[in-house]
Structure 1
Amino acid sequence: MKLYVPHVGHLEGLEGLLENSDDIYAVYMAGNPDYVGTGRTNISAPGLEEISEQTEYAHDKGVKMEIVLNSSCMGGQHLTPQGYNKINWYFEQLNNIGIDSITVAEPYFVEMLARDFDMEVVVSVLSFVDSPQKAEFYEDLGADTIVIDPVVNRDFPKLEAIKESTSCNLKLLVNEGCLYQCPFRYAHFNFFSHANGPGPKLNVLDDYYYHKCLSLRINDPQQLIKSPWIRPEDLKEYRHITDTFKIGGRTHFVNWILNNVQAYSEESYDGNLMDLLDCPKDIRDLFHIPNKELEGAISQWKQCKKVCNKCGYCKRLTEKVVRVYSSTETGDSLEPLNTSGESL
């Protein structure tokens, strides 16, 4: 199994990861947002010297280095002569450093990197590859690896169709805590791409999408179960699709990342599933989902037709297993969402 592990972007953090785990195949981190942004907030924006130092350290440990430049919107800057030259220069510097792979969402970058550079070209989840047809298009552009849109993580016929239609390597993101079929997904990542990419910087008062998404999950906890994460114990169900898995969370602390690495490398976690999910702390601190009590749910999801109003399985599972942290005068306690005991 090949685990791609998030890294915040400074040498101390990288040392904390690689000195405490032998189960990491590759690490990934953001590049400099002055050239190409990313779909996440940049906690660190390492310069070329820092990237070079960290790449050398990772290679000495036998670990590959991947740079994420997966802006979903460049505002057309990359298609101007000035923008193209600037980005092409940056790609060339990364190539000279010895970066193993670059993750991009912009189709033009896929073709550009495949044509002109030696680095592995990885298609980001923010390219939303959720069908064999999209996978074929990206392979024709020059992609070496495709990170499949997590929205189809539980749609095995579609995963198998993507596998059969392309010779690209496939990678699955295992711990994303976003809404299933999120209506804000495209707009939110476009917002991040501009807020965390080349200027001009936005003077934004608030992140509407973040707060709306947060409130939807708090008010309707079944969305936590519907979210397309993959339990560590269920990796075996995906082996015929790929042996390459990506842990999301490059804005988290080293200990949190290492906890995920251990859980997914051992393919077992006896604790709160929320501890593993890349989702807001506000949600992780509110809900408790005992991971072991989800055993067997994958069998239902493998045959699910994704018509929630007719199925109701995730709703019933939520009522059965999800607890809420509650503060009282005697201390914190876990309270059930529903005690009706309705049969699954």
Structure 2
Amino acid sequence: MRFSVATNFQPDLLDALEGYPVYELFGKLPSDSVGGGRASFMLAPLSAREFERHVRDAARRGIGFNYLINPACLDNAEFTRKGQAALERLLGFVEECGVSSVTVSLPFLLPIIKRRHPGLRVRVGVYARVDNVAKARFWEEMGADCITLESIAVNRAFRMLQAIRRAVKLELQLIANSNCLIFCPLSGQHMVNLSHASQQGHQSRGFMIDYCALRCSCEKLRDPSNFLRSEFIRPEDLGIYREMGFQSFKILERGAPTEVLVARVKAYAEGRFEGNLLDLIQPYGYKGPTKAGQGRVAELSRFLRYFFRPGTVKTRGLLRLKALAEKRGLISPLEWDPVYLDNRELDGFLEGIKEIDCREADCGECGYCASWTRKAVRVDEPYREEMLRLYQDVFNDMYTGTLWGVAGGGNHERNYRLGQ
């Protein structure tokens, strides 16, 4: 068993991971020419020099580094001279820094990297959406060294996992601690939104309203069974996947502080966890410096840099969105647990899932996750009701156009013809 662990680029992380089965770190600069799976505003500032120092420090400890070149969309820049030149500069930079592998999600990038930079191993990211045998074989024949399977589609599809494992010989990796909705209909849009929000030179300039995360969070509070209709693998259940031949697991999240990342690695290494499972699997927003007075300044600076766009969105509505995200714990962790997933009460949960084909099941008729929710999930009801009202108000602002100052209704057809 070995772990690929998200890095927060903090100087204390590598010492804290000593003794655990960590074979690589993964991460990237907050923004670059290709972008990746997290928006720039979700990550801590990082210079090129700090990045190189971190990569080389990891290498001295026998830990590789996986640089993420994994956007779901490049706006077709990969087919332009300018885009190709920027890609080549980035690949040259990461290789000079000592990076051992890169992750891609676009098929066109894999042979480019293999031919121009044969010293780099190429991994296929979850944004490639590999969820069946045909896709896995495609990437293997292309020359990929490893595939991270699409967790929301396959982590609980045990027959498919076994079929993919039998069909290919390359390394297969599973994400252990993500909490996306199973078969999430928002995932395609979310991947593209996040990719553009970390691309240098993109017209959005790093601005993004994370509608998909807000909608996902709302759906879970609306029906707490959605906390279990998910993709996460409990530490206690890693053995089930290892018996099927999976030995490589990816542990998130890049925005988490060192103590949280290490607690997650420790739980999966030991195969047991006591407490709120959300501590292991929920997303984690970047927190500013913790020295007295600096946190608020850093947060304000980050807000002004990425979100203060009076010509793009109405500031009052954006502040309302920010307050909602903070109250839900999407920007920084809450000081209490309005939602509690009792990990010990989930002993045996996965065994029952193995007997259900969730791709065919109607959750309303099945009722399996709902029955376990009543046993293992506790939600503070006043908090839930308050948050659902806030979500409704925010979504109403979006859907009507109020957030952007665009009135609904009226002569849209005529205005469209006139180009107004």
Q: What residue in structure 2 maps to residue 331 of structure 1?
A: none
Contact 2:343–2:376 under 8 Å retained in 1: no
Task: Report the alpha carbon displacement of residue 46 of structure 1 after superposing the two structures with TM.
Answer: 3.8
> Where does residue 120 of structure 2 map in the other structure?
119
Could you tell me which of 182, 185, 189 is aligned with 2:184? 182
Percent identical residues: 30
- Aligned residue type for 2:18: S
Q: Shift of residue 207 of structure 1?
A: 2.6
**2:63 & 2:35 partners in 1: Cα distance?**
24
Paired AA for residue 101 in structure 1: S
2:79 aligns to what? 79
CA distance, structure 2, for counterparts of residue 85 and residue 61 of structure 1? 33
- How far 1:278 sits from its partner (Å)? 3.2
Q: Cα distance, 1:208 vs. partner?
A: 2.1
Who is 1:169 aligned against? 171
* Residues 88-167 of structure 1: pairs in structure 2 closer than 5 A: 88-117=88-117, 118-151=119-152, 152-167=154-169
Deviation of 1:280 after TM superposition, in Å, equals 5.9
Number of matched pairs: 325
Give matches, 1:246-261, under 5 Å.
Answer: 246-261=250-265
Structure 1 match to 2:232: 229
Amino acid at match of 2:121: E
Instruction: Name 2:389's counterpart in structure 1.
Output: none
Q: Does 1:324 align with 2:376?
A: no
Contact 1:18–1:61 (Cα < 8 Å) also in 2: no
Which residue of 1 is the match for residue 350 of structure 2?
298
Q: Which one-letter code corresponds to 1:191 in the other structure?
A: N
Question: For the Cα contact (< 8 Å) 1:48–1:93, is it kept in 2?
Answer: no
2:27 corresponds in structure 1 to 29
Q: For 1:44-101, what per-residue CA distance to the aligned partner results, in whole angstroms no more than 9, with x for missing partners?
A: 3644433321111001112111111211110001110111122022112222332111
Once the two structures are superposed, the pairs formed by residues 185-334 of structure 1 within 5 Å of their partners are: 185-202=187-204, 206-239=209-242, 240-279=244-283, 282=328, 285-306=337-358, 307=361, 308-325=363-380
Contact 1:70-1:105 within 8 A present in 2 as well: yes
Distance between the aligned counterparts of 1:279 and 1:207, measured in 2? 13
3-state SS of paired residue (2:185): coil
Name 1:334's counterpart in structure 2.
none
List structure 1 segments (4+ residues) > 6 angstroms apart after TM superposition.
none
Q: Larger radius of gyration, structure 1 or 2? A: 2
Note the C-alpha offset of 1:20: 4.8
- Cα 1:297–1:252 shift into 2, 3 Å: same
RMSD: 2.0
Counterpart-to-counterpart distance in 1, 2:220 and 2:84 = 40
Residue 32 of structure 1: how far off its partner (Å): 5.6
Q: Secondary structure at the match of 2:351?
A: helix
TM-fit CA distance, 1:242: 1.3
Query: 2:403 corresponds to which residue?
Result: none
Give the equivalent residue in structure 2 for 1:3. 3
Alpha-carbon distance between aligned partners in 1 of 2:216 and 2:140, rounded to the nearest angstrom: 33
Deviation at 1:16, TM superposition (A): 2.8
C-alpha deviations, 1:303-325, integer Å up to 9, x for none?
21110233210011101211124
Does structure 2 retain, via aligned residues, the 8 Å contact 1:35–1:197? Answer: yes
Secondary structure, counterpart of 1:75 in structure 2: coil
Aligned residue for 1:217, secondary structure, equals: helix
Please list every run of 5 or more consecutive structure 1 residues that lacks an aligned counterpart in the other structure.
Answer: 329-344
Summarize the Cα distance change of 1:14–1:186 in structure 2 as closer, same or farther, 3 Å threshold: farther
| Structure with more strand by fraction | 1
- Which deviations, in whole Å up to 9, do the C-alpha atoms of 1:194-225 show, x marking residues without a partner? 11112234175733222211111111110110
Q: What CA distance in whole angstroms lies between the structure 2 residues aligned with 1:19 and 1:140?
A: 38
Give the superposition deviation at 1:161: 0.9
Residue 14 of structure 1 and its aligned partner are, at CA, apart by 4.2
**1:155, distance to aligned residue in structure 2 (A):** 0.8
SS state at 1:40 partner: coil
3-state SS of 1:21 partner: coil
Q: State the SS of the aligned residue for 2:66.
A: strand
Which runs of 5 or more residues in structure 2 are unaligned?
A: 286-327, 384-420
1:266-323 CA distance string (max 9 Å, x none): 0100111111013367267421111111111111111211102332100111012111
CA distance in 2, matches of 1:18, 1:79: 42
One-letter identity of the residue aligned with 1:22: G
Cα deviation digits, residues 99-128 of structure 1 (max 9, x gap): 111111111112212222211111001111
Give the structure 2 partner of residue 339 of structure 1: none
- Paired with 1:138 and 1:199, the residues of 2 have a C-alpha distance of 30
Give the AA of the match of 2:259.
N
Q: Could you tell me which residue of structure 2 aligns to residue 342 of structure 1?
A: none
AA at the equivalent of 1:256: V
| TM-superposed deviation, 1:171 | 0.5
TM-score by length of structure 2 reads 0.73
1: CA distance, partners of 2:149 / 2:220:
24
